[in-house]
Amino acid sequence: MADAWRMKLTGRTILVLVFGFLYLPIAVLVLLSFNDSGLPTTWSGFSLRWYVSLAGNSDILHAAWNTLVVAIFATLIATVLGTMLAIGMETRKRKSTALEALAFAPMVIPDIVLAVALLTLFSRLNVTMGLSTIVVSHVIFDLAFVCSVVRARLKNFDFSIVEASRDLGASSLTTFWRITFPVLLPAIIAGALLAFTLSVDEFIIAFFTSGAGRSSITLPMQIYSMIRFGVTPEINALATIVMGVSAAALLVSQWLNKEQMTR
């Protein structure tokens, strides 16, 4: 018994240490964002001044707007394409290795390589780079993640209800909208939220495909230049907001996924 007790204690200790390692750096940033002096050296009282100055920084607001536009369009396109790909892959009779590799590649390809490859493509085609080229590029990895979330749902999907619907005389279109789609919907939304957070946070590919000039700068690009050229305490406030939004999107996504699994 003493053995089991010791095992439990060791387990707890490891969990505390690892979660401490994962969350302390983030906690420090959040705490600093409310520090009046903005410095990690002294705590000079609670204040929202960095959030207020953030709200008055037109560069950041502009970048945030661009990020939102890119993420919304990329998510919409990727959700449709990724869901269709998932259905196509799961309804096939035989698994296609080429298709599997193609759907997996965007998740593992080094982003710097994809970034320079896209830059080369767009400059070869003489496309003026901007928000639209970032959207096109983000759809690549967004759709792969949507596809994998929806496929996980399809694996537990009882295809006999589709057959039943067809046997009872429903057309394949009716069957899709009345049977398949409602069952898949939570997974589709979960995948879309995941795609949205990925797109909001993506830096390297956006950096290479945004073209020259500041007009199509996104939030991660703005954060990168703030980190590189002089750290201002505003960045702590910005970091807190960005992390809060991502965490909220993920909580909802996770909750939806769980909801459907237990149903």
Chain positions 168 to 227 lying near other proteins, rule: CB under 8 A, are 194, 197-198, 200-201, 203-204, 208, 220, 223-224, 227
User: Apex CA 59: angle with CA 55 and CA 62, to 5°?
Assistant: 85
User: CB of 16: closest distance to other proteins in angstroms?
Assistant: 9
Asked if 6 interacts with other proteins (CB under 8 A), we say no
Asked if 124 interacts with other proteins (CB under 8 A), we say yes
Residue 22 burial class via C-beta count within 10 angstroms: exposed 0-12, middle 13-18, buried 19 and up: exposed
Residue 2 or 108: which CB sits closer to other proteins?
A: 108
Asked if 36 interacts with other proteins (CB under 8 A), we say no
Asked if 47 interacts with other proteins (CB under 8 A), we say no
Asked if 114 interacts with other proteins (CB under 8 A), we say yes
Residue 28 or 48: which CB sits closer to other proteins?
A: 28
Written as six digits, the tokens of 33 are: 């964002």
Written as six digits, the tokens of 1 are: 């018994």
How far, rounded to the nearest angstrom, does the alpha carbon of residue 176 sit from its chain's CA centroid? 27
Question: Do the Cβ atoms of 219 and 67 come closer than 8 Å?
Answer: yes
Which positions from 126 to 165 touch other proteins by CB under 8 A, shown as an x/- string?
Answer: ----------xx-xx--x---x------------------
Chosen residue from 68, 69, 116, 179 binding other proteins by CB under 8 A: 116
Closest CA to 239 of 89, 28, 42, 95: 28
- Which residues lie below 8 Å from residue 219, measured CB to CB, with a gap of 6+? 60, 63, 64, 66, 67, 200, 238, 242
User: CB of 56: closest distance to other proteins in angstroms?
Assistant: 21
Chosen residue from 68, 69, 76, 81 binding other proteins by CB under 8 A: 81
Question: Do the Cβ atoms of 73 and 138 come closer than 8 Å?
Answer: no
Chosen residue from 68, 69, 84, 127 binding other proteins by CB under 8 A: 84
Asked if 248 interacts with other proteins (CB under 8 A), we say no
Over the range 145-181, which residues count as b (16 or more CB within 10 Å of their CB) and which as e?
A: bbbbbbbbbbeebeeeebeebeeeebeeeebbeebbe
User: CB of 198: closest distance to other proteins in angstroms?
Assistant: 8
User: CB of 54: closest distance to other proteins in angstroms?
Assistant: 14
CA dihedral over 202, 203, 204, 209, signed as positive or negative:
positive
DSSP single-letter state for residue 1: -
Q: Which range, of 11-19, 49-57, 157-165, 181-189, touches other proteins by CB under 8 A?
A: 11-19
